[in-house]
Each structure stands twice: as C-alpha cells, then as structure tokens.
Amino acid sequence: MRIYFGILNSRKIKWPKGCAWCNSEPTRWYKYRKKTMQGIGLTILSPFLPVPAAEISSRVASVSYPVCYLHNILAHITKPIRLVMAFLIFNIITVPYQNDIILWLCNLIIASLGYYLWRRGIIVHKVYEKHIELSIPESKYAEEFMVLNECHSIHKHVLIQEE
C-alpha cells in the first residue's frame, strides 16, 4: 500500500529527518524531476515564417528528498526510463539467444526486481497547476510526512494540504 499526498506548489515540502526509503541517517538529497504532459496544440513558428507546428505543453516540478548513500544509488537506477532502457539493451545484446528459456527468466527477474525497487521509493505521479501528487509507501515515515506537511484533508485517495 502507498499513501498519496497532494502538496501545494506554493509550499516547500518538509521531509522527515531520515532517508526517504529506509529512515536511516541521510547523506544527501536526491532530486526527482517530473514532467507531466498537458496537451498538444498548434502554434505558428514565427511571424516571418507562418508555418504551423505542433507544440507540446507540459508542467515540470522538481522534488528533492533526503536519501542515504545506498538509496541515492537505487533512486538513480530505478528511474522508469532507465529500467526500460536497461531492459531494451539487455534484449538487444541477447538477440542470438532469443529462444533460450533462461533469457526469459532473466527478463522476468529484471522486470520484477526493477518494479519492486521502484515501488519502494518516493514516486511523483503528476504535476498539476496548483499542486503535485506524490506517494510514499505506507510507513511511519509517511505518517510523519503527513503531519509535517499538514495534509489533513482527503480528496478521493489523496491526502491534501489546505490552501
């Protein structure tokens, strides 16, 4: 189970003292950058060159949270984009053995381990106009986070800060 929080963009996030993954002594801040696509619109490239072009609008937010040495490394490795890349590279270099059952097992292990580790950390789900939505695995850490950030209102499954 994970706990979902809605944090206002106008407020600074308060993190509990420990590493966000294991609550041990943190050694650094891990910066999580999240981009949420909003939509695709048409735009004119320039007044001198009236060519229509597709414009993708998005919202970006950066969230820095405390991590210990090990979880800083794990947070870097378990970014979904990196896991997908590792998965693709592994499958490209092993093309000659494509029919080998061991390869399928390796794929399964890499994918499930990656997914499991990714779910153990902080996930920023979406950047909205006024707030971001993030989730933390259910734990003492999540409870402390809720209290520190005064996320006392519940909207659907998300604990939100009052404006």
Residues 6+ apart with CB under 8 A from 69: 27, 28
Distance of closest approach, residue 20 Cβ to Zn ion, in angstroms: 7
* 21 lies in the binding site for Zn ion (CB under 5 A): yes
* 74 lies in the binding site for Zn ion (CB under 5 A): no
Distance of closest approach, residue 138 Cβ to Zn ion, in angstroms: 17
* 122 lies in the binding site for Zn ion (CB under 5 A): no
Pick one of 3, 61, 68, 134: the residue that binds Zn ion (CB under 5 A): 68
Between CA 127 and CA 38 the distance in angstroms is 9
Q: How many CA atoms lie within 13 A of 7 on its CB side?
A: 26
Nearer to Zn ion, 21 or 141 (CB): 21
Give the number of residues in contact with Zn ion, rule: CB under 5 A: 5
The long-range contacts involving 103-111, CB below 8 angstroms and separated by at least 24 positions, are 110/86, 111/83, 111/87
Point out which residues bind Zn ion (CB under 5 A): 19, 21-22, 68, 71
